């Protein structure tokens, strides 16, 4: 009998965290690594949110909160959904969890049975596939290409649907491609789904505010999709609050109640101080965090401009999030500084070892031709990192 379960033995380690660990190890050896692998803002949490947390501590918020979150927080989430997304939810439709990641884990646990297929337009966020597998679901990758800005077309969606398709999960803005689905594009996907009323959608909108284009659209905005869309969001990215671990869903009531029940046995709810601070964050105008978005946009343009000068880096123009996802397959089969590059993992490791720049292989996101470069780093770091990359691939 194995000490460890098949469940954990079959799970892959998060590639982004693995790369960060390797970068840390090299740093420990004294190497000057520039980290462009992690998906977290390099800003501090804004002071007005920190102050609310300090106030909550002084007000003796120290007991378990309701499992699905404080009512005041759920009310702030309802107001946020109405204000930013034109979505109407009621209290029993909202569940607050320990990050959007736990929201996704809850959804998979309460909705998937063995063999249920979950469509994942590629590239997708690293954890989707393992969360689905952990819950006996079958991830079904729908390959997209740079020609369609890494967005799934209605034809691709239709072709991927089988009698076992239970759900579709996607993020817009997308981690890792930065692609943003317009309202028209979402409508075209919804038109396909209209023919399959049993398929549910997870619309992961965690990068909602980090959007440089025409604005954000939610799948649940369409009347015919509202009852079968679970809208996932949180404060990690736009409010620079990754470590505070608060995410939330707006969902059909039956699903929200199931997530609440699941969470009641697993975590007893999210951290009470963080929940109190998030009430303040969500009640504030999104314009309060615009300075971060403006800076991300400057960096996006900087990265695209600098990468554009390097042979073999073929990028789309990300409209949101803080990543670029260049296709680097030009280098496959080539030998650089005595090292043969066979795939994106080799390339990413090569950049770490030779340029001392940490990126993440696209393999982890379901696209083996690309690497992900995070621009949640200072402009100086970005300029230096891309200069180093250019040097080692020339």
Residue numbers at the binding site for ligand PLP (CB under 6 A): 39, 99-101, 125, 171, 175, 204, 206, 234, 236, 242, 247
Question: CB of 161: closest distance to ligand PLP in angstroms?
Answer: 23
Question: CB of 331: closest distance to ligand PLP in angstroms?
Answer: 26
| Token pair of 349 as six digits | 């490791």
Contact 39, 365 (CB under 8 A): no
Contact 157, 143 (CB under 8 A): no
Question: CB of 191: closest distance to ligand PLP in angstroms?
Answer: 24
Contact 123, 179 (CB under 8 A): no
Residue nearer to ligand PLP on the CB measure, 98 or 276 = 98
**Residue of closest CB approach to ligand PLP:** 99
Residue nearer to ligand PLP on the CB measure, 263 or 393 = 263
Residue nearer to ligand PLP on the CB measure, 99 or 269 = 99
Question: CB of 96: closest distance to ligand PLP in angstroms?
Answer: 11
Question: CB of 101: closest distance to ligand PLP in angstroms?
Answer: 3
Residue nearer to ligand PLP on the CB measure, 175 or 260 = 175
Question: CB of 232: closest distance to ligand PLP in angstroms?
Answer: 7
Residue nearer to ligand PLP on the CB measure, 169 or 350 = 169
Residue nearer to ligand PLP on the CB measure, 106 or 236 = 236
Question: CB of 394: closest distance to ligand PLP in angstroms?
Answer: 32
Question: CB of 115: closest distance to ligand PLP in angstroms?
Answer: 25
Residue nearer to ligand PLP on the CB measure, 171 or 367 = 171
Query: What CA–CA distance (Å, rounded) separates 145 from 325?
Result: 11
Residue nearer to ligand PLP on the CB measure, 49 or 393 = 49
Computed on alpha carbons and rounded to an integer, the radius of gyration of the chain in Å comes to 21
């Amino acid at each position: 009998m194995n000490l460890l379960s098949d469940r954990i033995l079959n799970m892959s380690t998060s590639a982004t965290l693995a790369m960060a660990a390797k970068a840390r190890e090299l740093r420990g050896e004294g190497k000057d690594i520039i980290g462009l692998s992690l998906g977290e803002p390099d800003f501090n949490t804004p002071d007005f949110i920190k102050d609310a947390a300090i106030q909550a501590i002084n007000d003796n918020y120290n007991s378990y909160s309701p499992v699905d979150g404080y009512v005041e927080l759920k009310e702030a989430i309802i107001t946020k959904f109405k204000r930013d997304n034109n979505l109407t939810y009621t209290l029993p439709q909202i569940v607050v969890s320990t990050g959007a990641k736990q929201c996704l884990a809850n959804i998979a646990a309460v909705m998937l049975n063995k063999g249920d297929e979950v469509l994942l337009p590629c590239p997708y966020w690293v954890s989707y596939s393992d969360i689905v597998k952990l819950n006996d679901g079958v991830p079904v990758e729908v390959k997209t290409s740079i020609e369609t800005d890494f967005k799934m077309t209605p034809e691709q969606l239709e072709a991927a649907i089988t009698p076992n398709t239970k759900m579709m999960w996607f993020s817009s803005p997308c981690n890792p491609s930065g692609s943003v689905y317009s309202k028209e594009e979402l409508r075209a996907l919804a038109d396909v789904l209209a023919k399959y009323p049993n398929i549910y959608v997870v619309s992961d909108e965690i990068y909602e505010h980090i959007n440089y284009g025409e604005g954000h659209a939610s799948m649940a905005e369409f009347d015919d999709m509202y009852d079968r869309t679970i809208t996932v969001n949180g404060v990690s990215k736009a409010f620079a609050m990754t470590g505070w671990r608060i995410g939330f869903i707006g969902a059909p009531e039956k699903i929200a109640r199931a997530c609440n029940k699941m969470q009641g046995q697993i975590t007893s709810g999210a951290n009470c101080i963080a929940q109190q601070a998030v009430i303040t964050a969500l009640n504030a105008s999104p314009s309060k965090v615009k300075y971060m978005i403006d800076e991300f946009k400057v960096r996006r343009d900087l990265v695209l401009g600098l990468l554009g000068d390097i042979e073999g880096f073929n990028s789309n123009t990300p409209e949101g999030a803080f990543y670029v996802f260049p296709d680097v397959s030009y280098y496959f089969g080539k030998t650089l500084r005595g090292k043969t590059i066979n795939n994106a993992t080799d390339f990413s490791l090569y950049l770490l070892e030779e340029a001392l720049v940490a990126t993440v292989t696209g393999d982890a996101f379901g696209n083996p031709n690309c690497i992900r470069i995070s621009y949640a780093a200072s402009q100086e770091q970005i300029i230096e990192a891309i200069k180093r990359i250019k040097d080692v691939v020339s």
